[in-house]
Amino acid sequence: SVEPGEVRVFAQYDRDLTLEADVVVVGSGPTGAVVAKELTDAGKSVVLVEEGPPFVPAEYELDGGLSMARTMREGGLRTTSGTIMPTMQAIALGGGSLVNSAICNRAPAFVLDRWCTDFELERTTRADLDPHYEAVATFLGISVTPDNVLGRRNLLFRDGCNALGYQCESILRNVRGCRGSGECFTGCRSRAKQSMDISYIPAAIRGGARVLTSVRIERVLAEGWRATGVVGRVVKPFTGKPSHQVRVHAKVVVLAAGCAATPVLLQKSG
């Protein structure tokens, strides 16, 4: 069994595992981590599942190639159909937040309004979402990047925009005490970037969430049209070699494996 608040890592799996929960969340990035924390706050029993391992600063690689090979799917070289642009999909506790630039812009009102019309959505206008944006911003310390972090090249760019009459502003980022070291992409060694592994996931763990790392979910379990859980395999970090089976039976299944992996999982599940 896995106790409330426990984090399971690859070396700790020695047999097949079956768990029960109110909610199972697949993916520990900015979506899954927030969902897990909010649901534990609401008193639900939550199992958070992540395919990748946890990382600490001593394990970060400053070499970009080595870093991508360790933290990203297919070494950061996976592409989507019809384009040669790589899609950076992290395989790590914290998901993409571990290796992104901490940029936290809000979706423009006109985009959300169009989605509400095109997809017949309710309660998803900018006015509806702003209280939630504010809650996340407060929790993560999202704020305008200060001049000392911007550095001289960005300040020169800003001066150029002002001289030409172009509107410009410093970007919003989820950091606390950022030193501007430029190591966001390979892992923030100063722990200034409030990635999910040091912000929302620990909060979910304090609330009793059980976290299974190095587990790749392969299929959603269902009875008729109702999802009843997930099943997958323990996978070795960096190689993906599968071993023990993992099943989580839950009243609610949340798929938060990103815009590339979530559709694949749905397809495999029929």
Percent with pLDDT over 90 in the chain: 89
> pLDDT value at position 253?
98
> pLDDT value at position 88?
81
Cα–Cα distance for residue pair 91/54, rounded to 1 Å: 9
> pLDDT value at position 173?
96
Cα–Cα distance for residue pair 84/78, rounded to 1 Å: 9
CB proximity list for 66: less than 8 A, separation 6 or greater: none
Cα–Cα distance for residue pair 180/192, rounded to 1 Å: 10
Q: What pTM did the predictor assign?
A: 0.93
Averaged in consecutive runs of 10 residues, what is the pLDDT profile of the chain (270 residues)?
96 98 98 98 98 96 92 84 79 95 94 95 94 97 93 94 95 94 93 97 98 98 96 96 98 95 94
Cα–Cα distance for residue pair 210/52, rounded to 1 Å: 15
The CA-atom distances, in angstroms, between 65 and each of 77, 101, 185 are 11, 17, 11
Tell me the backbone φ, ψ of residue 170, rounded to 5 degrees: -70, 145
> pLDDT value at position 86?
75
Count of CB atoms situated within 10 Å of the CB of 194: 22
> pLDDT value at position 54?
98
